[in-house]
Amino acid sequence: MPRIDRYVLREIASAFAACVVVLVMVSLSGIVADLLGKISRGKVPAGLLLSQLGLRALDVLPLLLPLALFLGVLLAYGRLYRDSEMAVLSAAGVGLRRLARPLLWIALPIALVVGLTSLWLAPAAMRTSKAMIEAANRSLLIAGIEPGRFVEIPGRHSVVYMAEMEPDGSRFRRLFVHTERDGRVDVVTAAAGQLYQESQGDERYLSLTDGFRVEGELGKDAFRIMRFARNDIRVPDSEQSESGRREERTTTLELLASDRPGDHAELHWRFGAPLASLVLSLLALPLSRTPPRSARYGRLLLAVLSYIVYLNLLSLGRAWMADGSMPVWLGLWWVHLPALGLAIWLLWSDQRLKPARMVRR
């Protein structure tokens, strides 16, 4: 590889790595805040925080990597323009189109990683996330309830104590539940019980056997005491939206064999992610042209706006294909091809010599 290509490639790689770190940290902070909110409402078990964080991070990589590559190319080539290195290279006969070769050395592998993530890793992560939440719905241990400890159930205003529990977390003995809400107290004790999920639906219940229930209003003597042979108590609802839409969890091979418009839209979205990486990297090359000694991040706002417009058009096309408003054969090419044509035209026009102008004296 020529020395100039190695130098430019090193600049792009360092800028790309810095953008990836920043974007991943920002995305992870948002994901953590969302997961903590759902844990506090009892939607997601606290023990699944780290695993769900990693799985959801894989799901957003097809969106973050193209943006990181776009910004990295813009910053790397923009620095060459600002430090007048691009002028020196142009004087030596190395034009902008010639400098697109080191860009392809890094853009093609990144597009391959984005394609593998979009077509395989992200759907597998969504399926794993759904399976882990379903497993948590069937085990008290994963749900955060441990034997021999008083545990507060998020979102239910209840405190649970279990003296013994089987290793799989499905059956227990000697249960105590205290619930207080709107000035009323409800205390339930049971000799044994188990956790089960109803056959039709996602609701979970504690099935209690051979116990007592005391309920009443605080500050009053009117308490009711009941003895039961079996009593079922509903536990917090399972998370409905955590695992995303069905199409997001479907494998790519199943999408290829399907004839549903929603599956076709998801398929075009997955194949469009690596193509968007290449289009955005080529588009960033002419957009990086900046005058010397200009602001370091002068064109970042334009880059972010361009990415937002591009991504929103892809999202609109995906939604229109899913509801049948757009023909399947058109796909998302009406977004990719104009963007690619614009990038090629900018590269070609940037290399042309401008005609001389007559100046009157």
Average pLDDT over residues 231-256: 70
In this prediction, residue 241 carries a pLDDT of 42
168 and 108 share one domain: no
- Asked which of 173, 207, 234 is the last residue of a domain, the reply is 234
Instruction: Give the rounded distance of the alpha carbon of 145 from its chain centre.
Output: 29
346 and 248 share one domain: yes
Tokens for 187?
Answer: 């205390």
Q: 258 pLDDT band (50/70/90 cuts)?
A: confident
Average model confidence (pLDDT) for the chain? 81
Give the residue numbers spanning the domain of 313: 3-136+242-350
Name the amino acid, one letter, at 70: F
Alpha helix (H) residue ranges in 117-245: 122-136
Average pLDDT over residues 315-340: 89
In this prediction, residue 106 carries a pLDDT of 92
In this prediction, residue 2 carries a pLDDT of 78
Please write the tens of the pLDDT for every residue from 265-296: 999 999 999 999 999 998 888 888 877 666 66
Q: Is 101 exposed, middle or buried (0-12, 13-18, 19+ CB in 10 A)?
A: middle
Rounded to two decimals, the pTM is 0.74
Q: Which helix (H) or strand (E) holds 30?
A: helix 3-40
162 and 96 share one domain: no
**Whole-angstrom distance, CA of residue 342 vs CA of residue 335:** 11
Q: 239 pLDDT band (50/70/90 cuts)?
A: very low
201 and 284 share one domain: no
Q: 94 pLDDT band (50/70/90 cuts)?
A: confident
In this prediction, residue 201 carries a pLDDT of 53
Contact 172, 193 (CB under 8 A): yes
- The Cβ-side half-sphere exposure at 318, using a 13 Å CA radius, reads 17
- Asked which of 234, 264, 297 is the last residue of a domain, the reply is 234
Question: By C-alpha distance, which of 83, 85, 103 is closest to 94?
Answer: 85
In this prediction, residue 360 carries a pLDDT of 55
Contact 245, 238 (CB under 8 A): no
Residue 177 lies in a domain: yes
In this prediction, residue 140 carries a pLDDT of 61
Contact 156, 236 (CB under 8 A): yes
Cα–Cα distance list, 347 to 96, 101, 326 (Å):
7, 13, 31
